[in-house]
Chain A
Amino acid sequence: MSDANLKTTPLNAAHIAAGARMVPFAGYSMPVQYKDGVMKEHLWTRENAGLFDVSHMGQARLRGVSPLSAFEEVTPGDFIGLKPGKQRYSVLLNKKGGIIDDLMAARPDDDGLFVVVNGACKDNDFKIIDDELAGQVRIDRLEDRALLALQGPKAAAVLADHAPEAATMVFMDARSITAFGTDAIISRTGYTGEDGYEISIPASEAERVWNTLLADDRVKPIGLGARDSLRLEAGLPLYGHDVDETVSPVEADLAFAVSKKRREARDFPGAARISKELAEGASRKRVGLTVLEGAPAREGAEIADEAGNVVGVITSGGFSPSLGKPIAMGFVPPALAVAGTKLKVIVRGKPQSAEVTAMPFVPHRYVRKI
C-alpha cells in the first residue's frame, strides 16, 4: 500500500486518519474511498455535500505580457474574450488536433491566467506550454497550493458559512478571495455534475480547511472511486480513458471548447483536421451507452452493431449508483451515435444489449443564475 516513489498531497495524514483506502493515482497516493465506500459516498454527494482532495491536479499561473492571447496558441478557446472573474473549460491541442489534456483556465484576479490541468498530465502539459510560448509568457507552477472540491446540492450553503462571497458566484465564475482566513482561489465548478466549488488554498492551510469543512454535518469526505462514478453519470470525459492524444474535440463531443471566433480564424493547433470535422463530421464520436442487461461494460469492452459487427470500444464504464444500472461511454461511427440506437456491448465474450443514451445520464445541476 505504501510506495516510496509515490507523492502525497498535504492531506495524506487526514485521509489515513479518516480510514481512507489509499491507492496509486497519477503518481500520488490518493484516497479511492473512505469507510462508507463508493456507493454511499456517491449518493451522499448527490444529496448533500462531498469533499474531495484533488491536490494532485496541476495548478499554475500563466504570466507575462499577454497571457490570454498567448494561451490561444495552444488551445481553441476564446481566451482574449475571457472576462475577469470567469473560468473556461478548454483543451490543449497537438499539431494534429489531438487532445494533449483538458483543463480549466480562469481570471480570478489580475495575475495572469490561473490554469488547472490533470495530475497525470501536468509535467508534460506545463513543459509544452512553456516550450510553445517561450519568450511571451511563462508557467509558474503553484506547487505550494492544495486543491479541494466541495460538490453537491448543499455545497453552496456550506461554503457560504466560510466564504459569503462564494454565494454570489454562478457556474464558471472564479475569484481570488479571502476565505477560511487565508487567500483562496474559488471557482464555482466541479467534476460531478452537481453545483459546487473548487477551492485552491495554500498547502500549509489545507488540513485546517479540510477539517473545518468536515466538521459540518452536511459534508463527508469522498474518494476517487465516487469521483469517477459521479463524473461518468455527468457525461464528463476522463483524460487518458475517454480522451487521449489521438482524439479530437469533435470526436470527443467537446466541440463547444472550439469557440466561434477561433472556428472562423482557424488559427489553433490542428485547425485543418478540426475544421474539416466540424464541417463534415468526424469518423467516430463519443457517446453514452446504457447497458440494458447483464454486467457493467468497462473500459476496453467492444461495441457491436445488432448484426454483431464490431463498431467501437468502451472507454469508461461502470455501475451508476444513482440510476441503479450499468452505464458507459465509448466511441462509435456517427451513424450509430444517435440516442436510442440499439447496440451490443461484449463483456467477457458475451454480447449484451445496450442503447445509445444522451448525456448527461443524470441531469447537471449547475447554478447559472442567482
Chain B
Amino acid sequence: MRFTKDHEWVTLEGDVATVGITAYAAEQLGDVVFVEVPEAGKAVKAGDNLAVVESVKAASDIYAPVTGEVIEGNTGLGDAPETVNDQPEKAGWFAKIKIADQAEYEALMDRAAYEDFLQSL
C-alpha cells in the first residue's frame, strides 16, 4: 500500500490501482454522510478531482493519486457512506483506476514514510 500527502491510500494489483482515504483522514473528516464516486470510463490525471466526501459540516475533494482510467467506482458507498469511517482502508475504497504508468505508484510514500509524514503534522 502507498500513500499521498493528501491522505489517500493506493494498492496495486497488476495494472489496477484501488484508491481510498486513510484512517487518519477518515478520523479528521468525522462522520461521512455522503460520497460521490466517479463513473467507469472517466479519465483522470494525478491531482484531478476523483471523488467528493461529505461530513455533516463540509465537502472535501478527493484527488486522483495516479493517472489512468476509472474502471469502477464504489457505488456501495451511496447507501452506506459510513463505511468510509468504519473500514477506510478496506471496504471504504472509492475507485479502481487502470493506471498508465506504474512508476507513478512506486513514487508514492510507503507506510513508514507516511507515518513519518503524519508525525510531522
Instruction: Identify the A interface with B (CB < 8 A).
Output: 32-33, 37-40, 42, 225-226, 228-229, 294-296, 298, 318-319, 321, 326, 348
Contact = CB atoms under 8 A, between A and B. Distances in A.
Interface stretch (B14-22, B31-39, B63-71, B93-101): B31-39
Nearest to B33: A319
B59 interface: yes
A192 to B, nearest CB: 15
A318 B31 CA distance: 13
B86 to A, nearest CB: 13
A229 B36 contact: no
What size tier do the contact residues of chain B reach?
10 to 19
Interface string B4-36: 000000000000000000000000001101101
Nearest to A36: B30
Contacts of B58: 298
B59 A39 contact: no
Contacts of B57: 32, 38, 225, 228-229, 318
Given A33-B30, A319-B34, A326-B34, A39 B52 contact: no
B55 interface: yes
Tell me which of B54, B57, B58 has the highest count of chain A C-beta atoms within 10 A of its own C-beta.
B57
A298 B34 contact: no
B35 to A, nearest CB: 9
A318 B56 contact: yes
A37 B31 contact: yes
Main secondary structure of the interface of A (DSSP, over half): mixed
B34 A295 contact: yes
Given A38-B30, A39-B33, 11 more contacts: A38-B31, A39-B30, A39-B56, A226-B56, A229-B57, A295-B36, A295-B54, A295-B59, A296-B33, A298-B58, A348-B52
Contacts of A32: 57
Contact of B30 (A37, A294, A296, A298): A37
Interface string B34-61: 1010000000000000001011111100
A40 B33 CA distance: 13
Contact of B56 (A38, A294, A348): A38
B75 to A, nearest CB: 14
A346 to B, nearest CB: 14
Contact of A295 (B30, B31, B52, B56): B52
Contacts of A40: 31
A86 B103 CA distance: 70
Given A296-B33, A296-B34, A319-B34, A229 B56 contact: yes
B89 to A, nearest CB: 19
